[in-house]
Structures are given as C-alpha cells and as structure tokens.
Structure 1
Amino acid sequence: MPRQKAATAHAAYHHGALRDALTEATEAILAERGLEGFTLREAARRVDVSPAAPLHHFGSAAGLLTEVAILGFEALTQYLHEGAQAGGNDPAARLRAQGLGYVRFALAYPARFQLMFRKDRLIDDARLLAAGQAAFAELENAIRDYTGFPAGQPLDASTQALLLGAWSTVHGFAHLALDGKFDVPGGPRADPQVLEATLRRILEHGWP
C-alpha cells in the first residue's frame, strides 16, 4: 500500500511540478533543521513521493541541494540588479544600493544564502557556476562604474581589491545578522530596519 500511494502521488505531478515541489520542500527543511538535518527521504516524504523520486530528478542529495543553490544565485542576481536600478545615475549610490540588496536577499532567504557557499555539499555543475558568475558580474559592473574602470579590461590589483572588499563587507554583515550577532543579548532579534540603517552608514563610509 505505501508503494501504491507513492506511485499515485508521483503520477499527480508533471515533471516540472515535482522538481519545484522537491526544491520547495528542501528549502523548508533547511529553514527548519539546517543543512545537517536535510535528507532526501524527508524531502520525498513532504511531497508524498517515493524516496527514489528525488534521485530520479536530481541524482543525489547534493544534486537537489545544488538546484536550490542555483535558484539562490539567480534570485541574488535579481536583487543586485534591482539595487543597481534603485541607485539611479550615481555610481556610488548604485553600488551602495547593491550592498543593501545583497543583505536583503540573505535575510529574506537565509536557507538559500547559507547553502549557496557550501561547496562541500554541492556538486560541480555548469549551471551553478554560471549562476554564481552572473551574480558576481553584477557587483563587478557596479565597481567598474564606481571607479571608472574600462569595460572589457581585466581588473587591476587595486580595483580587484576594492571589489573583494565590497563583497566581503556585505557578505560578512549578512552572516553576522543571520547568526544573531547584532541582537541584544537575552533580548529580541535585531530589527531589520535598524540593521539596514546600520548597513547604510557602513556603506556610506566605505563607498562615499
């Protein structure tokens, strides 16, 4: 009977719907239990399919996690792009707005964000590499505009250091926020508006 039930549930999904359902279930598990609490069996149970169904679509647990990471980088790229647009015609404002977008994404999708940089749990995948490069290109383009560095030329050491410094600032801030390092000891979580105001000041000091 359990096998028949799983087969019936599997038949209710078309290919794309089952993939989406499994990635959504994975994100829910990561949010509730963290990466160490994730299993393929639990993802399958939550969408009422056989434990073999995720393997059929993703090949392995790492394959399913990689799919979630790809979605994360794609969403991050969109947040960075929207941040650049919000900055208007001022290169400094665009760069700072991208920094705000980076942290907003991390706070909105903490499970995705923390997974995206766990190479030990992901597979080597061309789509993952491309998605990560697309997100990084958004930030690099903002740095090029900010410094006036010509498009199409490899960054020099100074501009590359500025790029890595900008990324490190917002990446580190996001991780500290998610880890509760800005919370009042024994008190509530830090207010998102307060966090954003603090980040704005940091970005204004670093990239006036």
Structure 2
Amino acid sequence: MRTFRRRTTRTLGLSGAVAAAALLLAACGDDGAMKGMDHDGPAASATAPAASSAAPSASGAFNDADVMFAQMMIPHHEQALEMAKLADGRAEDAGIRTIVAAVEKAQDPEIQKMKSWLKGWGEPESAGMGHSMAGMMTEQDMKKLADAKGKGFDRTFAELMIAHHEGAVEMAKDEQKDGANAEAKALAGEVVRAQTAEIAELRKILDRL
C-alpha cells in the first residue's frame, strides 16, 4: 500500500507539472498574439517602415508620360533659371526684371518637386534629351544672351524666353493629355497657365522696345 501511494503521488505530481507547463505555454502564445495586435509592439514596428516607404512622393498611379514629363521639364526649367540669372547686371527693362523674378520664384520649387517624384517612382532624373527638347536654347543662344546688355539684352531675352516658354507649354499640354498622375497633371496645368501669361507679357515688352 505504501508503494502504491508513493507511485500515485509521483504520477499526480508529474501530471500537475505537465498541465502547468501547458498553461504557461498557452499564456505566452496569447501574449505574443496580443503584442502582434498592439500597434506599439514589435510586430507593428517591424512592418510599419515598409508600409510608409512604399508610398512615392507623388501619390497615386503614374505612367511613362508622367515620368517623361518630369525628366524633360527638370532640365528645361534649369535652363530657364540660367537665362534668368544672366539678367543680373544686364537687364534694363522693368518688365523683363519682373518676368525674371517670376521665373526664379516658380521654377526652382517645381524642379525640386519633380525630382522628388522621380525618386519616389524609382526613375532616373535625366532622360538624356539635352537640347533636343522643344524650346531649349543652344550654346550659341546662351552665349548671345550673355554677351548682350541693356535694351539689347532685354530684346534677346524676351525673344528667347518666348520660344523657351512655348516649348514648356507644349510639353505640359502633352502631360495633361497623356499623363496618369494627378499631381503631375496639376503641375502641367500650372505651367500652361503661368507661362502662357508670361509669353503674352513678353510680347508686349517686345512691342515697346
């Protein structure tokens, strides 16, 4: 009887230990699941960066036309800024100086915006188009502008910037027609609006020079 009692007691003790271990493992599993549901827990922290990094700077869908618009408009804007810088110490007409200020104010922020889009889309900044884009000045054009002063500069600047803006408007209208990204199309609309108005003003300046 004593031997039987000892074995029974030992068996009950082992059964209790197994049950306790099972309960402990279940509790740990529930705790892990709760942590996975908690937005501040390790599981949420591990997945959150991947979700945020997947969103491009320009939200929504985009297509090849959007990419080409940004890749072409960046160097186009950069050349307009180069032309505007040449006005310092050369431009005489107040209207030309006003246009120069407008170009500098609008186009540098637009360049930065388009660069951020391309980065978010995983596309290169350059399409390798160079001077073949509509309205782009040649090296001779830029030299002619740099060599001019006073009214000669004002007239040359107006003539070249009209052609330059017309090229930008043409590219922007293509984006409005063929693009898919809402933000890119909105910027294209702003380019059409602003630069069409500046073309009209530059023509008025030419008439009085």
Which structure carries more relative contact order (alpha carbon 8 Å, separation 6+)?
2
TM over 0.5: no
TM-score by length of 1: 0.25
